[in-house]
């Protein structure tokens, strides 16, 4: 029995890309445009994006919440995986970056499935949990307690531990939480790394591991993602 994952050389990464990634021209264009930004490394990879879309389809999700949209790559992956009556609620604080996302939602014809909420995502989640009647930006789709099929967490790492209990309350039983960057470039396993972001990701990883109310799998794809299914 082996506990080892295959080590990815550049050659193997290229092989995976060439033999599995089916990226449409608009997705590629968004990657190229984002590549010109100083923050381009925040964007998920096309391999990860395709994996996220597949998970959304496999789970049959109709209501998806994305925390951390940036220029929109993951949102395109989720929205294109949703059925026509599905909804993706995107949360971000940046109007500038999500303006780029909006452009591609329009260009890909996915706009009708996507809503954007600008502002602190912690506040947004709290509003969704508190509201008996939904605020304007949430009217027309019922995102509330135990209502969401899939959540993708990819925003400010320092707040990861604070997002977790709120997300669990918003998820339906059987719903799926996908947390990005759980390996944080390997720093989670290196005690010399004591940055607030690393500490917070470690804390969330430990909380999830101890939480018997969920099924879990930590998957070493991209920067590491955890799959968490609410029981
Ligand atoms: C890693 S990027 C998301 C990448 C995106 N999922 C993609 O596929 O390209 C993180 C995003 O979280 C947003 N963010 C940071 N702090 C936030 C907060 N407190 N509330 C909401 N969004 C936040 C940032 O503006 C940024 O766009």
Structural domain boundaries, residue 144: 10-230
pLDDT in tens, 7-23: 999 999 999 999 999 99
Q: Is the CB of 156 under 6 A from ligand 1?
A: yes
pLDDT score for 135: 74
Main-chain phi, psi angles of 88, to 5 degrees: -115, 120
Residue 178 lies in a domain: yes
Q: Structurally, how many domains does the chain consist of?
A: 1
Closest atom of ligand 1 relative to the 66 alpha carbon: 6
Residue 99 lies in a domain: yes
Quick one: pLDDT band at residue 136, thresholds 50, 70, 90?
confident
Nearest CA residue ID for atom 6, ligand 1: 69
* Burial classification of residue 148, based on how many CB atoms lie within 10 Å of its CB (0-12 exposed, 13-18 middle, 19 or more buried): buried
Measured distance CA(119)–CA(96) in Å, rounded? 13
Q: Is the CB of 26 under 6 A from ligand 1?
A: no
Quick one: pLDDT band at residue 132, thresholds 50, 70, 90?
low
* 163 CA distance to ligand 1 middle (Å): 13
pLDDT score for 214: 98
What is the torsion angle, in degrees rounded to the nearest 10, for the CA atoms of residue 112, residue 39, residue 20 and residue 113?
-10
Residue 2 lies in a domain: no
* 67 CA distance to ligand 1 middle (Å): 7
Q: Helices 160-170 and 121-130 sit at what angle, rounded to 10 degrees?
A: 30
- The CATH number for 127's domain is 3.40.50.150
pLDDT in tens, 54-95: 999 999 999 999 999 999 999 999 999 999 999 999 999 999
Q: Taking 70 as the threshold, does the pLDDT of residue 133 lie above it? A: no
pLDDT in tens, 154-177: 999 999 999 999 999 999 999 999
Residue 1 lies in a domain: no
* Positive or negative torsion for Cα 114, 96, 118, 148: positive
Residue 198 lies in a domain: yes
Q: Is the CB of 45 under 6 A from ligand 1?
A: no
pLDDT score for 112: 96
Pocket test for ligand 1, best of 51, 92, 97 (most atoms within 8 A of CB): 92
pLDDT in tens, 161-219: 999 999 999 999 999 999 999 999 999 999 999 999 999 999 999 999 999 999 999 99
Closest atom of ligand 1 relative to the 74 alpha carbon: 8
* Burial classification of residue 3, based on how many CB atoms lie within 10 Å of its CB (0-12 exposed, 13-18 middle, 19 or more buried): exposed
User: Which residue from 175, 227, 224 is spatially nearest to 202, judged by alpha carbons?
Assistant: 224
Residue 3 lies in a domain: no
Q: Is the CB of 160 under 6 A from ligand 1?
A: no
pLDDT score for 30: 98
Closest atom of ligand 1 relative to the 77 alpha carbon: 8
């Amino acid at each position: 029995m082996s506990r080892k994952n295959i080590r990815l050389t550049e050659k193997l990464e290229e092989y995976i890309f060439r033999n599995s990634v089916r990226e449409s021209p608009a997705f590629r264009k968004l990657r190229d445009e984002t590549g010109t930004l100083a923050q381009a490394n925040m964007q998920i990879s096309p391999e990860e994006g395709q994996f996220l879309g597949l998970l959304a389809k496999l789970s049959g999700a109709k209501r998806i919440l994305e925390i951390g949209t940036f220029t929109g790559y993951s949102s395109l992956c989720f929205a294109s995986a949703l059925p026509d009556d599905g909804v993706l609620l995107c949360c971000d604080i940046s109007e500038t970056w999500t303006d780029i996302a909006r452009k591609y939602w329009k260009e890909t014809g996915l706009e009708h499935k996507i809503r954007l909420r600008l502002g602190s995502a912690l506040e947004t989640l709290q509003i969704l949990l508190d509201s008996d009647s939904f605020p304007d930006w949430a009217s027309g789709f019922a995102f509330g307690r135990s209502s969401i099929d899939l959540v993708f967490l990819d925003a400010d790492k320092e707040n990861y531990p604070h997002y977790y209990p709120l997300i669990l309350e918003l998820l339906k039983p059987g719903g799926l939480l996908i947390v990005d960057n759980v390996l944080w470039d390997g720093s989670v396993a290196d005690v010399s790394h004591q940055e607030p972001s690393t500490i917070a990701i470690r804390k969330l990883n430990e909380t999830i591991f101890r939480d018997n109310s969920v099924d879990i799998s930590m998957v070493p794809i991209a920067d590491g993602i955890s799959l968490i299914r609410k029981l």
